[in-house]
Chains A and B, each alone.
Chain A
Amino acid sequence: MEKQSKHWEDVRDLFRNWREENCRQSEDVVDLWKEVLANHFGKLGDEGWLVLEQVFIAALDCHSMEIANFCLSKLNQEFPDSMRVKRLKAMKYEALERYEDALDILDLIIKKDETNAASRKRKVTIYKSQGMIIEAVKELTDYLRIFMADQEAWMELSDLYISQQEWNKAAFCVEELMLHSPFNHLYLQRYAEIKYTQGGYENLEIARSYYAQAAKLNPNNVRALYGLLLTSVHMASNSKCPSQKKKESIKLSEWATNQLSQLQSSNDSKLFSSQILEGMGNLQIGNDSKN
């Protein structure tokens, strides 16, 4: 096994990379820690505390409670009054499903330091992990009333709303994300998907333009191309569509089909088949009640 011969310095550098890139390779982290770094902890110096935090969270993910407790006790010894360590303790309670204790600790942190954003976000995750989506949404909206420029939070809120099928509110959240990065084709595509799901002629129009923008920014975005194809076909077959827009839509759908078949031939993948492409064009939205 290659892992045994890994030098502890390589492991340390690997951990640093994962920390910076926010990778969540929990099992690898725990395994590498057990085999290599636990024995060399003293040599890590100041970076050791960051590594401990990383290993702690990974251990919680894998439910290895002894490793987690070990890390937490070491951190507690070194930083007895730290808000950050308290927050990790709350995460441990959360992993053990002692939600009231976790909430108590987090409320204590928030009372002491009102500007602590991370603890508020942990409260949201506690509600979410218990399945209490409505409370999670309420907590997150309160959070966003204060910290309105937090992209991560808007992303999370949009996911929560999508799970609750509140399309309007989810679209609002994705609009916030688009304000932050208007050239991110993924946000554009997500927005278009929400609009398309909402249905109705105006939303179809909006969806089509956002799909088109996403496809323009990244012609390899297959979802955007399919979305463009579908929306333009549906717009063209819709009675409300003026003839000029119909021609536009048909052109767009042809372009999308071309792009997709190009990708298909270059990819040579069995997942793409020309029959699917043809079939897509024939899909109908049945009984449009919103029309």
Chain B
Amino acid sequence: MAELLLDSNIRFWVFLPIIMITFLVGILRHYFSLIIASQKKVELLQVQDSQALVRSRLLRENGKFLPRQAFLMRRHFFNSEDMGYFKTQKRAAPTTNPMTDPNAMTDMLKGNVTNVLPMIIIGGWINWAFSGFVTTKVPFPLTLRFKPMLQRGVELVSLDASWVSSASWYFLNVFGLRSIYSLVLGENNGENMNCKL
């Protein structure tokens, strides 16, 4: 397939703006998710359990530095059949089903709304605004199956599938810039797509 020469205006007015738009919208999403995030309330029992787990882990890892009797004493505290901490403490089984737990439900909803909705809206706008031309060429060859997906506005049978439209460049940016967000915004930012979509 012959090399296409793209108008350099595309570089200035499409390629770079899409990057900027994606980046800035991502930052906005991050701050938005911070604002609407709900305060986590911890229960005393949870704290106690987490501390007990830390202590038992330390015992497991560093127990060899203690005298024998001391180690056995602590293991007995945690594991003995009739009095051990891990044997006698009863905990209610946590509701793993997110549908029934209202708190987890609202968190999931917020995650969805914050992440997916802007993506759809802006993706649609870009598709409408920057349609009818190819924006960039991906550096690896693609099969013809990808053509209808990646070349939305451009119906050319003979065009290489590597040439993609602006909408696909936008989606590429959305997923690609997430690592840049962790550089800029620090860890645990609103872009973490850990939500169970």
Knowing A179-B59, A179-B62, A182-B65, the reply to whether A114 touches B44 (Cβ < 8 A) is yes
User: CA A175 – CA B55 in complex, angstroms?
Assistant: 12
* Interface size of B in residues (CB-CB distance below 8 Å): 17
Knowing A115-B44, A178-B62, the reply to whether A148 touches B67 (Cβ < 8 A) is no
B51 touches A149 (CB 8 A): yes
**A1 close to B (CB within 8 Å):** no
Interface residues of A (CB under 8 A from B): 114-115, 146-150, 171-172, 175-176, 178-180, 182, 206
Number of residue pairs spanning A and B whose beta carbons lie under 8 angstroms apart: 44
Residues of A near B54 (CB, < 8 A) are 148-149
User: CA A33 – CA B42 in complex, angstroms?
Assistant: 37
Ordered by A's residue number, 28 sampled pairs between the chains whose C-beta atoms are within 8 Å are A114-B44, A115-B44, A115-B47, A146-B44, A146-B47, A146-B48, A147-B47, A147-B48, A147-B51, A148-B48, A148-B51, A148-B52, A148-B54, A149-B51, A149-B52, A149-B55, A171-B70, A172-B70, A175-B66, A175-B67, A176-B55, A178-B66, A179-B55, A179-B59, A179-B66, A180-B58, A182-B65, A206-B67
Knowing A114-B44, A115-B43, A172-B70, the reply to whether A179 touches B58 (Cβ < 8 A) is yes
Interface residues of B (CB under 8 A from A): 42-44, 47-48, 51-52, 54-55, 58-59, 62-63, 65-67, 70
Residues of A near B70 (CB, < 8 A) are 171-172, 175
Residue on B nearest A195 in the bound complex, by CB:
B67
Residues of B near A180 (CB, < 8 A) are 58, 62
Residues of B near A114 (CB, < 8 A) are 44
Question: What is the minimal beta-carbon distance from B188 to any residue of chain A, in angstroms?
Answer: 20
B51 touches A150 (CB 8 A): yes
Residue on B nearest A146 in the bound complex, by CB:
B48
User: CA A176 – CA B52 in complex, angstroms?
Assistant: 12
Q: Lowest 7 A-B CB distances belong to which pairs?
A: A149-B54, A182-B65, A114-B44, A149-B51, A179-B58, A182-B62, A148-B55
Question: What is the minimal beta-carbon distance from B30 to any residue of chain A, in angstroms?
Answer: 20
User: CA A98 – CA B97 in complex, angstroms?
Assistant: 51
User: CA A130 – CA B55 in complex, angstroms?
Assistant: 31
User: CA A148 – CA B54 in complex, angstroms?
Assistant: 8
Residues of A near B65 (CB, < 8 A) are 178-179, 182
Residues of B near A206 (CB, < 8 A) are 67
Residue on A nearest B50 in the bound complex, by CB:
A149
Residues of B near A148 (CB, < 8 A) are 48, 51-52, 54-55
B51 touches A179 (CB 8 A): no
User: CA A180 – CA B61 in complex, angstroms?
Assistant: 10
User: CA A147 – CA B53 in complex, angstroms?
Assistant: 11
Most chain A beta carbons < 10 A, residue from B51, B55, B63, B65: B65
User: CA A173 – CA B153 in complex, angstroms?
Assistant: 72
User: CA A149 – CA B70 in complex, angstroms?
Assistant: 17
Residues of B near A150 (CB, < 8 A) are 51
User: CA A179 – CA B48 in complex, angstroms?
Assistant: 18
Residue on B nearest A147 in the bound complex, by CB:
B51
Residues of A near B43 (CB, < 8 A) are 115
Question: What is the minimal beta-carbon distance from B109 to any residue of chain A, in angstroms?
Answer: 27
Residue on B nearest A182 in the bound complex, by CB:
B65
Residues of B near A171 (CB, < 8 A) are 70
